[in-house]
Amino acid sequence: QERSLKKPKSASSFFFFKTCNKKLSRICGNSQSVGSRGISTLRNFLQSRNKVYTEQVYVRPPPWSDSLPTIYAITPTYYRFVQKAELTRMSHTLLHVANLHWIVVEDSDRKSAMVSRLLEKTGLNYTHLNVHVAEKLNSKGSGQRNLALKWLRDNFSVNDSNAGVIYFADDDNTYSLELFDEMRYTKKVSVWPVGFVGAVRFESCKVNASGKVYAWDVKYAQGRPFAIDMAGFAVSLQLILSKPDVYFRLHGIPSGHQETKFLEDLITLNDLEPKADNCTEVLVWHTRAQAPPLYRGYGDPYIET
């Protein structure tokens, strides 16, 4: 299921609200008590509200711009109690990002009705895919990421003039809007710090005086050539299209090494483009919602949460 690949309607939905330009003190005067007189005055005021209300219109998502590269946010997701809450929170961030195409890939044999409804209601430009990986792998979510990469290669050609960037945006992270501005003009691979990951406050890259990444500021598996979290980099669409055989490896990869193996197949360290003020600002955090304690069997099972 997809919503238009390139140019969605500039105003997919509208929200209206009306604000009053008179204060309560002007309704009730200097009355010291609210009784029948105050209620009557308020009723008379509300009956004439059309004269004193103003109307404001909000549009979502931002209008599509032909001058901006497209951001393709790839999000693997799977069923759990907090899935809808996580996807809802994330969608509310993405609604503020111009020229964004959300590729949501479920780890399931079929697309769920819940995710389908949620995506349709957002008004976002999206593609909904699914693939179930039955094996228990160290590379959680990479089967879904690989399907999204295949979808991009099936729909775009390296010979096309498609300016864009790919970001692997998991549904259990928190994203600053600044992050999307930072990554939008990625030439090959851009990088930045990630908060609350690897058992430290943040992981980052080290940048020299020439603005080049030369090392990594991490505690976990420091010997990795690209010691970076999935949320800490973006790849240009053209680079992915130019290397059609590069995917995330699903087998024989130690835990935490998916990112480095993927990037080793694409670039060298010298190709990296440090963002977020030379990797000194944290603009994305691992903040997965904790599954709440639940009384099994309590409440209507048909009410979707």
**Max Cα–Cα distance, the chain, nearest Å:** 78
Cβ atoms of residues 202 and 232 within 8 Å: no
Q: How far apart are CA 180 and CA 190, in angstroms?
A: 11
**Bind-site residues:** 172
DSSP state, residue 232: G
Compute the 3-state secondary structure of the chain and give helix, strand, coil in percent, each to the nearest 5: 30, 25, 45
Cβ atoms of residues 138 and 253 within 8 Å: yes
Q: How far apart are CA 128 and CA 147, in angstroms?
A: 11
Q: Which residue type, as a one-letter code, is found at position 170?
A: D
> Quick one: which H or E segment has residue 122?
helix 113-122
> Active-site residues: which are they?
259
Q: What strand order describes the sheet that includes 173-175?
A: 173-175, 284-286, 194-197, 200-207, 213-217
Q: Which residue type, as a one-letter code, is found at position 143?
A: G
Cβ atoms of residues 152 and 128 within 8 Å: no
> Quick one: which H or E segment has residue 42?
helix 36-47
At 34, list the tokens: 């609210």
Q: How far apart are CA 215 and CA 283, in angstroms?
A: 20
Q: Which residue type, as a one-letter code, is found at position 62?
A: P
**Bind-site residues for Mn(2+):** 172
